[in-house]
Amino acid sequence: MYKEYEENFLTILGYSYRLEDIKQRLFFTFSEAVYAIDLDKLMRNEDSMRLNSIVYIWVLDELIKEYLTNEINQEQKQKALEVYKKIEQRKAAENKKYHMYQY
């Protein structure tokens, strides 16, 4: 079941790892989850609401495990950081194209 959501999961988990402190990762990820799901409800986007609900619950579950045990799944963390890095590189490339057209 989770295979279809894995890239989204790794993206959000990778995004959370930009913060060093687990307490901050939990707080901000929870805040982002509430905001994303609330926005989906307002927009009446059922597919996105379902996706965000599943993925954020999965990410929060992993972060809570980390908080309680002080153990990080290093393999999963590395995958998440790689996925997040690829997305950031793609955004940077798109932004570079945009800025080229401004001149």
The answer to whether residues 84 and 40 touch, using CB atoms and an 8 Å cutoff, is no
Query: Cα–Cα distance between 48 and 91 in angstroms, integer?
Result: 21
- Tens of pLDDT, residues 34-72: 999 999 999 999 999 999 999 999 999 999 999 999 999
Stronger pLDDT, 27 or 100, i.e. the higher one = 27
Number of structural domains the chain divides into: 1
Q: How far is CA 81 from the centre of its chain?
A: 10
Q: What is the pLDDT of residue 94?
A: 79
What pLDDT band is residue 101 in, cutting at 50, 70 and 90?
Answer: low
- Tens of pLDDT, residues 74-89: 999 999 999 999 988 8
Looking at residue 3, the DSSP 8-state letter turns out to be G
Residues spanned by the domain of 27: 3-101
Query: Cα–Cα distance between 86 and 79 in angstroms, integer?
Result: 11
Query: Cα–Cα distance between 99 and 103 in angstroms, integer?
Result: 7
Residue 96 has pLDDT above 80, yes or no: no
